[in-house]
Amino acid sequence: MKITFMGAGSTVFARNVIGDCMCSEALRDSVFALYDIDGERLEESRTILEAMRAAKGGYGKIECYVGVENRKSALRNADFVVNAIQVGLYDPCTIIDFEVPKKYGLRQTIGDTLGIGGIMRALRTIPVMKDFADDMAEVCPDAFFLNYTNPMAMLTGFMLRYTPIKTVGLCHSVQCCSRDLLSKLGMEDRLEGRKELIAGINHMAWLLQIKDKNGVDLYPEIKSRVDNYLADPEDNDKVRMEYIKNFGYYCTESSEHNAEYNMFYIKSKYPELIEKYNIPLDEYPRRCINQIERWKNEYKEILETGIKEHERSNEYASHIMEAIVTSEPYQIGGNVLNTGNLISNLPADACVEVPCLVNGYGINPCSVGALPVQCAAMNMTNINVQLLTIEAAVTRKKEHIYQAAMLDPHTGSELDIDTIKRMVDDLIEAHGSYLPKYN
């Protein structure tokens, strides 16, 4: 079996996913093909993974492929392809995504999923994903493509609508959603044996049901504790707790993310909201800087002291592969196309996040039915932007980029149409060769 990792220069994530595979008897004898366009970063990953492979008993084989000219070889005969690329990296592209909008008075927190930052990230990533899909159709047409790259719904939606590749989008936020909520509200005693239902869209999938091991609905108690949480000035998940108060349900991704997915919290006319809700503006650039520095120190330590023991994580990737290979069923929250009205009050061409059963037949999404109307309405404010961004990437028409930005809840609530268009033009110019030409 062959498992190819695209963007293997993302060493920490490659270590976790491939390390998980090395912990599985069904996967550990695989060929692990590492691909990146940065040879130095790829070598760091190879060094760590070879040490980990030796510590795990020497099973399998690691191969490295550097550069676009070797991409087909990395993908050839792959059974699974894990995608974790970041086109343009922190420097220059993330910096551009944050600094250019700031000139127009538009502030962001993360900028990788929605908003003007998410739109630009999608537009520079989709052409690369299209190249991946073309190569896969030629050299590994039956492989499963496991996408971890953001913006999740835009990229996965593109792959599912415009390529023949079997694709699922995977996000960490589903696994930890109910655990984090109960822990933050002091309800840790209800964690064991809990039952939950989560559905919606990536980063805004709704915790529709949460019951304890005896089948008792936990939402009444959750709602009774929200005001106390919001009253504490130190607590940092206030946006999602406000969702519970105003929309009735908690959602999957963090408050720093969700603060920029709507028109409610980051408002230049109401600067006091930033402190009230503990909204960390410019959070993602800070994380990037800290992560780069932290990785330098960690890599140096690994070279000096050796690889640390890896225990299998709850990341979905290895469990999906194992379930398909062994036919032992496993449930995930996956990002898939809304084919067959999985969520009946969202569009068929939307990328939705729903429970999926994984087994020897592949990844099988489960029908959820209709979301509460207010939850579907919130999702639609994001889906509008996602669909228009995909349309821009496919048609290469700049008017669709304008429209995506105009209909983005945060951007449209802060800027007028002419300013939005000027900002988009400036972003396109600043990104230069990272973007294709638009008509």
Mind telling me the catalytic residues? 172
Nearest residue to 106 (alpha-carbon basis) of 372, 413, 330: 413
Burial tier of 174 (Cβ tally within 10 Å: 0-12, 13-18, 19+): buried
Q: Which two tokens stand for residue 388?
A: 């228009």
User: Under 8 Å CB-to-CB from 288, ≥6 apart: which residues?
Assistant: 90, 94
DSSP character for 151? S
Burial tier of 206 (Cβ tally within 10 Å: 0-12, 13-18, 19+): buried
294: helix, strand or coil: helix
* C-beta of residue 171 within 8 angstroms of C-beta of residue 203: yes
**The residue to which tokens 């020497």 are assigned:** 58
Count the alpha carbons within 13 Å of 122 in the hemisphere toward its beta carbon: 31
Count the alpha carbons within 13 Å of 80 in the hemisphere toward its beta carbon: 26
Rounded to 5°, angle at Cα 362 from 358 and 367: 60
The two beta strands, 144-147 and 166-169, are: parallel
Interatomic CA distance for residues 132 and 127, integer angstroms: 9
Instruction: Note the maximum CA span of the chain.
Output: 61
* C-beta of residue 213 within 8 angstroms of C-beta of residue 256: no
Give the alpha-carbon dihedral of 178, 113, 81, 26, to 10 degrees: -10
The two beta strands, 204-211 and 195-201, are: antiparallel
Burial tier of 256 (Cβ tally within 10 Å: 0-12, 13-18, 19+): buried
Q: Any long-range contacts for 384-388 (C-beta under 8 Å, 24+ apart)?
A: 385/114, 385/118, 385/119, 386/114, 386/151, 386/153, 386/154, 386/157, 386/201, 386/350, 386/351, 387/157, 387/347, 387/349, 387/350
The distance in angstroms from the start CA to the end CA of the chain is: 43
Rounded to 5°, angle at Cα 360 from 354 and 361: 60
